[in-house]
Amino acid sequence: MGSYEELAGRLGEFAAAREWERFHTPKNLAMALAGEAGELVAELQWLTDEEIRAALAEGPLRDRLADEAADVLLYLVRLCSVCDIDLVAAAHAKIARNERRYPVELARGNARKHTELRRLPDSSDGGEATAD
């Protein structure tokens, strides 16, 4: 149904056919990614949460967001390809780390950063999640 490997392969062929590999340096792709992230955030900048909810139910906003989200993903996948990074493995590793960093009993209902969670007086955490 469309795996990351398939996306990465299709993007690689797309670039090769157009002789665009020389443009696809890590720096350039990171810049392109930041640019697309900016376009995505710009879609939502003047809307309230309620307006976004209503607009998503209607459709056009969702289509524009999907388009921008796709652009972000494509540059992200391409960046990881040229840097030889396994993006999906990195994502799962990050979730695993976040599960240790943000134990349910400490993190529930608050958005404190993990580095601040450890300072709570009632911390019951054993301290294993100190990375980063």
Question: Contacts with a second copy in 85-104 (CB under 8 A)?
Answer: 85-95, 98-99, 102, 104
Footprint of a second copy on 41-80 (CB under 8 A): 41-47, 49, 52, 56, 62, 65-67, 69-74, 76-77, 79-80
Given candidates 60, 109, 121, 127, which one binds a second copy under the rule CB under 8 A? Answer: 109
Using rule CB under 8 A, residue 37 touches a second copy: yes
Residue 8 sits in the site that holds a second copy (CB under 8 A): no
8 Å CB contact between 83 and 17? no
Using CB under 8 A as the binding rule, whether residue 23 contacts a second copy is answered as yes
φ, ψ for residue 20, nearest 5 deg:
-100, 5
With contact defined as beta carbons under 8 Å apart, do 75 and 32 qualify? Answer: yes
38 touches a second copy (CB under 8 A): yes
Helix (H) or strand (E) holding 48: none
Residue that is written with structure tokens 């960093």 in the block: 101
CA distance linking residue 103 with residue 45, whole number of Å: 32
